[in-house]
Each structure stands twice: as structure tokens, then as C-alpha cells.
Amino acid sequence: MYLQKKFFLLLLSFIVISCGANKIVYPTQIEYTANPQLILDEFIPYIESQGYKVLNKNDTRMTLRNQNGFYTAEYLETDWMNSGIYDEPSGKEFIIKQKVWIVLDSNQISVESVFGFIDGEEMVIFDSAPDELYKVVNALPEGLKQMIVSKAL
């Protein structure tokens, strides 16, 4: 009986702790088969329809360098957007920025979400988010992924 009680309390504690934990926000990777310019033309209106402002609509091409050499990508960056969700300890509103790379050489799209809040003159950036914020941060990457699948891009 004592062992069953202990096991039940341990199981209950594990469930409560795992449900209350923050989720880590990883960059989203998407494969594409269509022309990168077509994808770019589809992404800009979609990103703006989600409330973000694209900062570089007319200047998206960039050459980047990694350990294997140079590669070319179409790059979109949004302005910071208010999330409407507040950090509990500080009471500051979370803001979100999205960065999208459409890599031309490998047919890969990478979406990086950056989020945090401004504390005085300092920007506090987070790697993990509570459930409610996680849904808002991941809405754009998931929407772009669904667009690629549904429109066969």
C-alpha cells in the first residue's frame, strides 16, 4: 500500500511538472520544390496578413558563408510585433520577430522566431516559452509550412 501511494504521488508529480514546463522554440525547417521567387511572392502577403511588417520586401537576396563555402538565399525579416502576452514576473509584454531564409542551393526554408521583452533599454531574449506564447510564436512558421504543403510549393 505504501509503495503504491509513493508511486502514485511520483506519477502525479511528473504529470504536473511536465504540463507546466516551458517549450523550447527551435527554428523550423521546411523543404520546397517550387521556384524560390514564387515562394517569396506567396510568403510576403501571408506574413503581413498575420500582423507582421516585412522590413525588406524589395531587397531579399543575400549571399551567406558557412563552413562549406558561400550560398545564396532569399531573406525576409519582420519588425518586432507585440504579442499581447505578458511575462508574469516582470509584467512586460512579449514582442516577436520572425526571420525567414529561403536557401536557393538546397531547397530548404528556415524560419527563426526571436522573442522577448524590453526591460528599460535592454532587450531580454528567451529560448523557451510558456504554452500560450509558444502558440503565438509558432503560428507563423506552422502557417508557412502548411502553405508549402497545401499549394505544393
For residue 5, give the C-alpha cell: 501511494
Q: What does the alpha-carbon distance between residue 3 and residue 7 come to, in Å, rounded to a whole number?
A: 6
Is residue 20 situated within a structural domain? Answer: no
Task: Answer whether residue 50 is part of any domain.
Answer: yes
Q: Across residues 79-108, what is the average pLDDT?
A: 91
Residue 7 included in any domain: no
Question: What is this structure's pTM?
Answer: 0.79
Per the structure, how many domains does the chain have? Answer: 1
Answer yes or no: is 10 within a domain. Answer: no
Q: Tell whether 13 is covered by a domain.
A: no
User: Across residues 1-7, what is the average pLDDT?
Assistant: 62
pLDDT digits (tens, 9 = 90+) for 100-146: 999 988 889 999 999 999 988 999 899 888 889 999 999 999 999 99
Whichever domain contains 38, its CATH number is 3.30.530
State the pLDDT at residue 55.
94
- Kindly indicate the confidence band of residue 26, based on its pLDDT and cuts at 50, 70 and 90: confident
Tell me whether residue 14 is in a domain.
no
Residue 134: per-residue pLDDT: 92
- Domain containing residue 48: 25-150
Alpha-carbon distance of 43 to 21, in angstroms, equals 32
